[in-house]
Structures are given as C-alpha cells and as structure tokens.
Chain A
Amino acid sequence: DAKTTQPPSMDCAEGRAANLPCNHSTISGNEYVYWYRQIHSQGPQYIIHGLKNNETNEMASLIITEDRKSSTLILPHATLRDTAVYYCIVRDPLGSARQLTFGSGTQLTVLP
C-alpha cells in the first residue's frame, strides 16, 4: 500500500471548517483513500473513503485532487467532539494486504 504524509497536528476553531490534508504521491490506480479517526482511548472509527471523485457523507467530505496525489478531509462545522487523531490510509481493497496500515495521523484539536 502507498505511503501517506500528514501534518502531525492542527488546530481549528469550533464551528469552523477543519481541512485536513494528506499527501499520497505514490498512489496506484487501484488504491482508494480511506479516512479514519481515533478519539482518545477509543478504537478507530471509519469516516469516509474515495477513489477519484469527491465524496460526501453525514460526517465529512473528501476532496481528491485530479492527479490523486493528495486529498483533503473536510469537517464542515467542527465541534469539540471532533478532537481526535485523523488517519489517512491508502490501500487497494482487492489487494493482497487485507489490513489497514496506519501512519501517525494528524492530531486535530478543536478549540472553543
């Protein structure tokens, strides 16, 4: 699976949009971008995933650049409960590696 690069930490004001970047310059054509988050002392939680089109669900939006070498997770109206470590993972769901490979992620702190 391709390697990802994320900033180690970010702050965001409550009620504002949080934009979390991820670089995945070595992504291959079959690989999807997945985002998970982990709130302190809990297991990781799936947020969203995409291949090349932008995606939106009830939790977030995922913007993938046209060359697919980077993406941005957008939390449109961040709340204090969105404070968590956010992981960007690139993988081929039909590939031989069935597991998720987590990096260090981005610690998002939502400030009141």
Chain B
Amino acid sequence: DTGVSQNPRHKITKRGQNVTFRCDPISEHNRLYWYRQTLGQGPEFLTYFQNEAQLEKSRLLSDRFSAERPKGSFSTLEIQRTEQGDSAMYLCASLVGDLLFRETQYFGPGTRLLVL
C-alpha cells in the first residue's frame, strides 16, 4: 500500500455512458498525475496537477475526458460518452519533489475500466 487510493477499483459500463474515477493522493503531495495503461503497454501520461492547477494535458486526453482537483487534495477523472477504446487501467500517482530529485511517484492500485 503506497498511501494513494483509487476508487472504484473496477468499473464495467456500456458504451456511451459517463464514468468518474477518484484518486486520493498522499496528503502532503502537491503534484498529482493521471496515466492510462492498456494491456501489454507501459502507462501513458494523461494529465498533471500541481495543487489545484492543471498544468499539462496529453494529446491523449480528448475533449470527452476531464480532470479536476478542486482543493488541491483528491482528484477526479471523468470520461463522457465512453467508447470501447477507453477500456484500460487508469492510474493515479502523486509526489512531492525534493532536492535529491527523487521524483518518486507513488502510484495507486488503479481503476480498471471495461466498456462493453
């Protein structure tokens, strides 16, 4: 257990439905990341927050995807009008940088999404 939690752990939905995932990072971590991982591939970056500000978004993040981190604490990732290609593991990671550049991203267990 890294201290980063994600809910739900599994989600099955029908194509066209909206889904929302939640990530609770380690409390003192000011940076939060979302990644997506498909079978057999490494995680791919989606978006990044520093405190409540969303500072970077990947081109993978289409306009059907939106992420928020309203008070700089937990974050949500919403997918609207889901498509079968959205089926993947969605990973959240948090970190606090330090002078040793450990840049240790602590990952949550992920939310596995299956779109039927």
Task: Show the binding face of A for B, using Cβ within 8 Å.
Answer: 32, 34, 36, 41-46, 49, 51, 85, 87, 91, 93-94, 98-105
Contacts and interface: CB of A to CB of B under 8 A. Distances in A.
Contacts of B4: 43
B103 A44 contact: no
Interface of B: 2, 4, 31, 33, 35, 40-45, 48, 55-56, 58, 91, 93, 97, 101-110
Contact of A87 (B2, B42, B97): B42
Nearest to A94: B101
B2 A93 contact: no
Contacts, number: 65
A36 B103 CA distance: 12
A102 to B, nearest CB: 3
B56 A102 contact: no
A94 B106 CA distance: 18
A48 to B, nearest CB: 10
A49 B103 contact: yes
A99 B91 contact: no
A98 B101 contact: no
